[in-house]
Amino acid sequence: MLKDSSWEETAAAFEKARQRQPALSELLDFYEKLVKEQHAVTVNPASIPFDERLLRSRAGRGEPLLPRQEFPLDLPATEALFRTLCRLAKERGPEVRAAAEEIESATGWGGLDLQDLLRGTVAEEGYPFAVADQRGLDPELLNTLAEASIRPSLQAVAKTLGSFVENDRWLRSICPVCGSEPKCAELRGQELAAWRYLHCGFCGWAWPVRRLGCPFCDNQDHNRLQTLIIENHLTCKLEVCDVCRRYLKLVDSKEFIGLIPEVEVLLTPHLDLAAMDRGYH
Ligand SMILES: [Zn+2]
Ligand SMILES: [Zn+2]
């Protein structure tokens, strides 16, 4: 999660990442500034109301605590972050600048309601793509800006609700807080006491699961699960399942210290390509 590491640790991870993948420097520079702005956001606790009885009853039934469409947003903080990130995007090359200016004017006087966009991004994965399509905006950029803007609020909610999660009894592969799929896995701890954690792609919560097993289809057959090392990249590997053909990145914090899963995921687009080349999705 964003604030699990201090800003200094995060900046150090970006610096190392640039040394390891100089070809991605420009992208990593942009993301470092973006994450710095996310770190600087203070979410108003009053924007996170929750019904303790409802949460306890869902937890008792083994259900995720809060489906994504029920996540509240600190709207003033989220809108302010969106506008800051638009300005950051304009500092990139001329192409991105032009796309960011179009998004700024659409959400300024152009009739695209920013609050609707942000709430829609919470409720439905990929919502900004549909909006971009209707309005002729850059879909990738709009999605990046909207998703990055809601993240501090989502993670503040997950942190607040996390105390209701009984991690050791969950062991399922959807997020115990919001029910979303994982975005990456991480090995933590030492040798026999090492645990595999899954990181939620929506709210950022991380929870322990079995070392072996596909998080997407529950396949436990080790003959049909593989861990692939691509181009000698040892800090982040690929876990693939030959039953459902899905893949997940596995960040190895057991062997390497100072890794931040979010940064490792950004640093490894070649792993996504390698997975897709092999027929995984
Ligand atoms: Zn989640
Ligand atoms: Zn599978």
CB 170 within 8 A of CB 182: no
Helix (H, G, I), strand (E, B) or coil at 22: helix
Q: How far is the CA of 66 from the centre of ligand 1 (A)?
A: 9
Q: Write down the pLDDT at residue 194.
A: 82
Domains, the chain, ranges and CATH?
Answer: 41-164 (no CATH), 167-277 (3.90.1670.10)
Q: How far is the CA of 167 from the centre of ligand 1 (A)?
A: 13
N- to C-terminal Cα separation, the chain: 24
Q: What percent of the chain has pLDDT over 70?
A: 99
Q: Write down the pLDDT at residue 110.
A: 86
Q: Which residues are CB-neighbours of 165 under 8 A, at least 6 positions away?
A: 59, 65, 176, 177, 205, 207
The CA-CA-CA angle for residues 124, 125, 128, to 5°, reads: 90
Q: How far is the CA of 79 from the centre of ligand 2 (A)?
A: 38
pTM equals: 0.94
Q: pLDDT tens-digit profile of 107-122?
A: 988 889 999 999 999 9
Q: What is the DSSP string of 188-243?
A: ESSGGG-EEEEEESSS--EEEE-SSS-TTT----GGGEEEE--TT--SEEEEEETT
Tens digit of pLDDT per residue, the chain (281 long)? 877 889 999 999 999 999 999 999 999 999 999 999 999 999 999 989 889 999 999 988 989 999 999 999 999 999 999 999 999 999 998 999 999 999 999 998 888 999 999 999 999 999 999 999 999 999 999 999 999 999 999 999 999 998 888 766 787 889 999 999 999 999 998 877 788 999 999 999 999 998 889 999 999 999 999 999 999 999 999 999 999 999 999 999 999 988 999 999 999 999 999 999 999 99
Residue of 86, 80, 7 whose CA lies nearest to 43: 80
Tokens of 60: 């008792």
Tokens of 238: 């690929």
CB 240 within 8 A of CB 223: no
Q: Give the integer Cα–Cα distance in Å for 262 and 246.
A: 19
CB 236 within 8 A of CB 247: no
Q: pLDDT tens-digit profile of 52-104?
A: 999 999 988 989 999 999 999 999 999 999 999 999 999 998 999 999 999 99
Q: How far is the CA of 239 from the centre of ligand 2 (A)?
A: 10
The CA-CA-CA angle for residues 17, 194, 13, to 5°, reads: 15
- Nearest-ligand number for the alpha carbon of 218: 2
